[in-house]
Chain A
Amino acid sequence: MLAYIIRRIVQSALVLLVVGLTAFSMFRFVGDPIDNMLGQERTAADIERLREQLGLDQSFPVQYFKFLQEAAQGNFGMSYRQGRPVAEILMERAPATLELAAVSGALAIIFGIAFGVFTAIRRNGFLANFIMSASLVGVSLPTFLIGILLIYIFSVELGWLPSFGRGDTVQIGGWSTGLLTATGLKALILPSITLGLYQMTLIMRLVRSEMLEVLRQDYIRFARARGLHDRAINFRHALKNTMVPVITVIGLQLGAIIAFAIITETVFQWPGVGLLFINAVQFVDIPVMAAYLMLISVMFVGINLIVDILYFFIDPRLRVDRAGGH
Chain B
Amino acid sequence: MSDTVLSIRELSVEIPTHTGIVKPVDGVSYDICAGEILGIVGESGAGKSMAGNAVIGLLSPPAHIAAGEIWLNGSRIDALEGEDMRRLRGKQIGMVFQDPLTSLNPLLSIGDQLTETMLTHLDISRGEADRRAIAALEEVGIPGAAERIDSYPHEFSGGMRQRVVIALALCAEPSLIIADEPTTALDVSVQAQIIALLKRLCRDRGTAVMLITHDMGVIAEAADRVGVMYAGRLVELGAVRDVLTAPQHPYTHGLMASTPLASQGKARLHQIEGAMPRLNKVPEGCPFHPRCAYARDKCRVAPGPKIADGRTACWFPLVAEKAS
Is B89 located at the chain interface by the 8 A CB criterion?
Answer: yes
| Interchain CB contact under 8 A, A228 and B116 | yes
Considering only residues 13-59 of chain B, those with a C-beta below 8 Å from chain A are 56, 58
Residues of A within 8 A of B10 (CB): none
Could you give, for residues 83-111 of chain B, a 1 whenever the CB lies within 8 Å of some chain A CB and a 0 otherwise? 00011111101110101001111111100
In the bound assembly, the distance between CA atoms of A317 and B90 in angstroms comes to 27
Known contacts: A315-B107, A316-B154. The answer to whether A227 contacts B102 by CB under 8 A is: no
CB distance from B59 to the nearest CB of A (A): 11
| Interchain CB contact under 8 A, A316 and B90 | no
In the bound assembly, the distance between CA atoms of A241 and B87 in angstroms comes to 25
A228's partner among B104, B120, B152, B169 (CB-CB below 8 A) is: B120
Highest count of chain B CB atoms <10 Å: which of A217, A222, A236, A240: A222
Could you give, for residues 155-172 of chain B, a 1 whenever the CB lies within 8 Å of some chain A CB and a 0 otherwise? 100000000010011001
Residues of B within 8 A of A224 (CB): 58, 89
Residues of B within 8 A of A237 (CB): 105, 108
| Interchain CB contact under 8 A, A219 and B116 | no
Is B312 located at the chain interface by the 8 A CB criterion?
Answer: no
Known contacts: A219-B105, A222-B165. The answer to whether A227 contacts B87 by CB under 8 A is: yes
CB nearest neighbor in A for B174: A227
CB distance from B120 to the nearest CB of A (A): 6
How many residues from A make CB contacts under 8 Å with B?
Answer: 24
| Interchain CB contact under 8 A, B106 and A219 | yes
A317's partner among B106, B165, B168 (CB-CB below 8 A) is: B106
| Interchain CB contact under 8 A, B107 and A222 | no
Is A153 located at the chain interface by the 8 A CB criterion?
Answer: no
Known contacts: A237-B105, A317-B152. The answer to whether A218 contacts B58 by CB under 8 A is: no
Known contacts: A224-B58, A227-B121. The answer to whether A316 contacts B106 by CB under 8 A is: yes
Considering only residues 222-236 of chain A, those with a C-beta below 8 Å from chain B are 222-230, 232, 236
Is B117 located at the chain interface by the 8 A CB criterion?
Answer: yes
In the bound assembly, the distance between CA atoms of A236 and B88 in angstroms comes to 21
Residues of A within 8 A of B97 (CB): 218, 221-222, 225
B interface residues, Cβ below 8 angstroms from A = 56, 58, 86-91, 93-95, 97, 99, 102-109, 116-117, 120-121, 152, 154-155, 165, 168-169, 172
A interface residues, Cβ below 8 angstroms from B = 217-219, 221-230, 232, 236-237, 240-241, 244, 314-317, 320
